[in-house]
């Protein structure tokens, strides 16, 4: 998608990055509407389903920068998330945020490449595992990922691969990707299922209780530590879910 405006679903923070190599880092989030995927366990359907995305305002890049600039706190990082931010041309937004002194991180499944990715300060590639129902939705997904990685002009320290894992099949998927890109930093996130009914920051869904999250993370971690390919890959719970469940705006 292109044009002078884009759908801005959420602008919030400061909060803590919940996944990946920068887990726990204070940041702001710009959640952009629109996605070329529809994962079975998506926790951000309000930024994916067209009927819901259309309810969010269309903003200019200047308006989005001001939304972040007006938020409290002093976080350095702004995370562009979705949906998939790469469905939009956000080059001016990246430039605008950096002009205000922010560092920009983008999170994407790497299904679409745009040149503005190379302007970002950090890139998280999150190819979707079999449990999402998406990896085999198109037969050339591996080629698409390879083209994305090969198009990156960033230092290898400025991007990473993150795989959300729910089961052994997902671990096999992560192992395969890590064997393809052994020099690229990878992290594994223990997936959590979003509740069917949204709740607020102060509430917690029973299925996402901390004890359950940590128990499933321990199970995945034990398998990763014993794996000859994945044994050096960090494993994390989804930190934001531990703290706030699947509440919006955190």
CA–CA dist 23, 240 (Å, integer): 9
For residues 168 and 130, is the Cβ–Cβ distance under 8 A? no
The number of helices, as runs of H, and strands, as runs of E, in the chain is 7, 9
CA–CA dist 243, 222 (Å, integer): 23
Whole-model pTM: value is 0.92
pLDDT tens per residue across span 26-42: 999 999 999 999 999 89
CA–CA dist 77, 37 (Å, integer): 26
pLDDT tens per residue across span 70-105: 999 999 999 999 999 999 999 999 999 999 999 999
- Looking only at the bridges linking them, the beta strands covering 26-32 and 77-81 are parallel
First to last CA, the chain: 26
CA 185 → CA 81, 82, 123, 152, distances in Å? 20, 22, 11, 14
Q: Can you state the angle between helices 210-225 and 168-180, rounded to 10 degrees?
A: 50
Query: Which residue has 């089961």 as its token pair?
Result: 167
Among the residue ranges 12-26, 32-46, 64-78, the one predicted with the least confidence is 32-46
Locate the domains of the chain by residue range: 5-244
User: Rounded to the nearest 5 degrees, what angle is found at the Cα of 231, between the Cα atoms of 79 and 141?
Assistant: 55
CATH 3.40.50.1820 is right for the domain spanning 5-244:
no
CA–CA dist 89, 114 (Å, integer): 7
Share of the chain above pLDDT 70, in %: 90
pLDDT for 177 beyond 70 = yes
| Residue 9: its H or E element | strand 5-16
Q: What is the mean pLDDT of the chain?
A: 91
CA–CA dist 75, 148 (Å, integer): 29
pLDDT for 206 beyond 60 = no
Distance of CA 14 to the CA centre of its chain: 17
pLDDT for 60 beyond 60 = yes
pLDDT tens per residue across span 142-159: 999 999 999 999 999 999
């Amino acid at each position: 998608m292109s044009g002078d405006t884009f759908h801005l679903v959420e602008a919030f923070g400061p909060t803590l990055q919940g996944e990946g190599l920068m887990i726990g880092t204070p940041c702001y989030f710009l959640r952009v509407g629109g996605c070329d995927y529809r994962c079975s366990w998506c926790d951000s359907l309000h930024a994916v389903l067209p009927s819901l995305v259309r309810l969010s305002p269309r903003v200019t890049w200047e308006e989005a920068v001001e939304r972040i600039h007006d938020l409290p706190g002093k976080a350095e990082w702004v995370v562009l998330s979705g949906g998939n931010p790469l469905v939009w041309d956000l080059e001016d937004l990246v430039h605008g945020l950096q002009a205000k002194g922010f560092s920009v991180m983008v999170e994407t499944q790497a299904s679409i490449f745009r040149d503005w990715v190379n302007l970002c300060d950090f890139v998280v590639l999150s190819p979707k595992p079999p449990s999402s129902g998406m990896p085999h939705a198109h037969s050339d997904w591996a080629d698409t990922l390879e083209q994305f990685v090969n198009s990156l002009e960033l230092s290898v320290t400025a991007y990473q691969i993150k795989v959300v894992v729910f089961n052994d099949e997902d671990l096999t998927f992560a192992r395969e990707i890590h064997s393809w890109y052994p020099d690229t930093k990878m992290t594994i996130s223990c997936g959590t299922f979003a509740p069917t009914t949204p709740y607020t920051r102060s509430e917690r869904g029973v299925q996402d209780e901390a004890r359950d999250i940590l128990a499933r993370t321990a199970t995945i971690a034990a398998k990763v530590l014993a794996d000859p390919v994945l044994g050096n890959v960090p494993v994390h719970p989804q930190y934001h879910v531990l703290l706030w469940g699947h509440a919006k705006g955190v």
